[in-house]
A and B are shown apart, each in its own frame.
Chain A
Amino acid sequence: MLAAGELPDNHNRQFEPSNFEPTTPRVLTILSFVLERIVARNDQLADGLSQQVNGVSYGSARLGKSLNVFHGVRAPNISIPNYLERIYKYTNCSPSCFVVGFVYIDRLVHKHPDSLVVSLNVHRLLVTSIMVASKMLDDEHYNNAFYAKVGGVSNAELNRLEIELLFLLDFGIMVTSRVFESYCLHLEKEMLLAGTNQRIERALVDDVTEISVDDTQTSSPPQVAVVD
């Protein structure tokens, strides 16, 4: 479980790129919190359903058909907060990518109401959507091969997940600053309801601070860190 109290520990962390702000962006904390709640709820729901129909295969098929490709055989050992932190630490993507990645996952479940984000698929969904967000937003970003290493999946699988995500989203990957802001507010509200008052850093955005073009030099360490 994450908690805001974990933050100070991170000050001691070594970040390879030196111009990096040595705190975990709050968005990671908030996003972890929100996702863990969703996953816990959905896991329960999925369990209940599969028991009802007396067959796991039926249950999971019914719940996640469109997300099947994201399903692992068993849930990875790494917790959501640690996974997000790992992605952030190694890929150096901008904090905004986590919000936009969340937007993608949210769009996904809305577009495909038969799908649930559960512990079996949340990691793959996260690494894929954050990677796509980073491709959209960041001036410099790592390539799929690197994200695959960080995310613990094979390059080929991540490529397949990427394409799957793009098509499931119907390529609706534009996130305007208005939408971005509304998601930030939503995430913050969730925290507030949980009794913690935290604000997401609005480093972004619009699809507006996104990209530039020479970001194909993906194997070099990113130099642009938009933190706060």
Chain B
Amino acid sequence: MAIAAPGQLNLNESPSWGSRSVDCFEKLEQIGEGTYGQVYMAREIKTGEIVALKKIRMDNEREGFPITAIREIKILKKLHHENVINLKEIVTSPGPEKDEQGRPDGNKYKGGIYMVFEYMDHDLTGLADRPGMRFSVAQIKCYMKQLLTGLHYCHVNQVLHRDIKGSNLLIDNEGNLKLADFGLARSFSNDHNANLTNRVITLWYRPPELLLGATKYGPAVDLWSVGCIFAELLHGKPIFPGKDEPEQLNKIFELCGAPDEVNWPGVSKIPWYNNFKPTRPMKRRLREVFRHFDRHALELLERMLALDPSQRISAKDALDAEYFWTDPLPCDPKSLPKYESSHEFQTKKKRQQQRQHEDAAKRQKLQHPQQHTRVPPVQQSGKGHPQMRPGPTQPMHGSHPPVAAGPSHHYGKPRGPPGGPGRYPNQPNRGGQGGGGGYGSGPYPQGRGPPYGSSSMPGPRGGGSSNYGVGAPNYPQGAPYGGSGPGRGSNMMGGNRNQQYGWQQ
């Protein structure tokens, strides 16, 4: 048997994966922990290079090698791009097991199998949530451009990511952004004829076609997620924090209008359309709700959050959008500020103490709804409208206790309070293994904690279910526009939620 496609033979880049032992690395510290196992920051002894080691959990005998890991490895092996996380190699550890005679038992992988990734300092959500963090417009453009560039690369290589969200976008201290966690990714064909599962993408970032049960879909699903992230960066908090599928769809319809055969030809043929069809007419309110956004940003967002996937903008066209070519231009990644690297795992204990403290405080402040609020980007002078935005004043936030040198990485840790409403009510089981944050293949739940403020919660404005309340200032005065403003962020242990979200540069 002997055929090979042209160029297929002898294409081995580097030494065989798995040929090296994990002993080539010195584990520096654990930076992630979860049901999937551990993620370590480590140094390659020979070169001194810092890497992230993700252990592949192998303890489910019936399942064998975790399928999410196989797929992630398979796909990352093929993708090489500056905006896609680089899987450097796979290393093994023989482990201590010996057979009865004291010889190694022949299973050279018993001790574990590790994926070796380039080390990244932060993830986007972690970075955005840092105390005192405040992104400039040029910085947001810079991240968005990199996100779209990486995604475009995936899409031209016929890979759908299917789990785009902030905690899967890793950022290093050179300002580079890379897509990570390809445990849900898959190849697609251009004809969209394959039946794919609709149970992908973290709920808050899941597009309407998947929520309506479509099984034929394409790259547009990722663009919806990008739109959600884009809006989140501008808005300061997640725009569709649904707690389950019906609520998720409802939140989408409230902002984007209800789909019908006019604005989305063919929608009525999607499996669950009739189950979820809104009973009352709902108009698209995107432009109205986000009217304070920069004109070009709003234009781009409109096209990313198109209900009809066939009308949704592609990554390539998005990169050509006016937004990226008007002042202020996306900045050079290298010009971005460097943030102190920190990991949630390290500060876990501290956070737990803090949380207990806060829970006690919260009990005294009954009925204060929780809101996840970030400060919108710094507005360039002379441009646009003031971006004072909305949202409740919330001194406390139970699920995000302040912490010194706030964490930038999730590494797969659920960040919300335990026992809260699940954010991933209907997620596929990812084999019970996975990765830390963006380092991939993480089992749900990961990323941010449970959704906040369901519609049944009394809104801070008394405003029912809307998330977009325009009005009440949500941060202390003076903060949002102080480009290099006063050191509000310095009091990070202060326990004041507003300070948590008073972004600064």
Query: Which residues does A use to contact B, with CB under 8 Å?
Result: 34, 38, 69, 102, 105-106, 109-110, 117, 131-132, 135-136, 139, 143-145, 155-156, 158-160, 162-163, 166-167, 170-174, 177-179, 182-183, 186, 206-218, 224
**Which secondary structure dominates where chain A touches chain B?**
helix
Is A136 in contact with B196, judged by CB distance below 8 angstroms? no
Is A171 in contact with B77, judged by CB distance below 8 angstroms? yes
Is A211 in contact with B71, judged by CB distance below 8 angstroms? yes
**Which residues B229-288 have CB closer than 8 A to chain A?**
none
Interface centre among B62, B64, B75, B189 (most CB of A within 10 A): B64
> Knowing A213-B197, A216-B431 touch, does A208 contact B74 (C-beta < 8 A)?
no
Residues in A whose Cβ lies below 8 Å from that of B428: 212-214, 216
Contact of A139 among B16, B106, B184, B195 (CB under 8 A): B195
Is B64 in contact with A136, judged by CB distance below 8 angstroms? no
Residues in B whose Cβ lies below 8 Å from that of A135: 67, 70
> Knowing A159-B61, A207-B187 touch, does A106 contact B1 (C-beta < 8 A)?
yes
Determine if B414 is an interface residue (Cβ-Cβ < 8 Å).
no
Stretch from B2-10, B318-326, B385-393 that touches the partner: B2-10
Q: In the assembly, what is the distance between CA of A66 and CA of B25, in Å? A: 26
Q: In the assembly, what is the distance between CA of A38 and CA of B194, in Å? A: 34
Query: Which residues does B use to contact A, with CB under 8 Å?
Result: 1-5, 8-9, 12, 16-18, 58, 61-65, 67, 70-71, 73-75, 77-78, 90, 92, 106-107, 109, 113, 158, 162, 184, 186-189, 194-197, 199-200, 428-432
Residues in B whose Cβ lies below 8 Å from that of A179: 5, 8
Q: In the assembly, what is the distance between CA of A199 and CA of B432, in Å? A: 40
Q: In the assembly, what is the distance between CA of A182 and CA of B194, in Å? A: 21
- Cross-chain pair count, CB within 8 angstroms: 132
B195 (CB) vs chain A CBs: closest residue:
A139
Given contacts A166-B65, A213-B162, A216-B430, 18 further A-B contacts (CB under 8 A): A106-B2, A117-B1, A132-B70, A135-B67, A135-B70, A139-B197, A145-B61, A145-B62, A145-B63, A156-B61, A179-B8, A186-B3, A208-B158, A209-B194, A213-B428, A214-B428, A217-B429, A224-B195
Q: List 23 A-B contacts (CB under 8 A).
A: A34-B1, A69-B106, A106-B2, A106-B3, A106-B4, A117-B1, A139-B197, A143-B63, A156-B61, A159-B61, A162-B65, A170-B12, A171-B17, A186-B1, A207-B186, A208-B194, A210-B187, A212-B196, A212-B197, A214-B428, A216-B63, A216-B428, A216-B430
B188 (CB) vs chain A CBs: closest residue:
A208
Q: In the assembly, what is the distance between CA of A214 and CA of B200, in Å? A: 9
B4 (CB) vs chain A CBs: closest residue:
A110
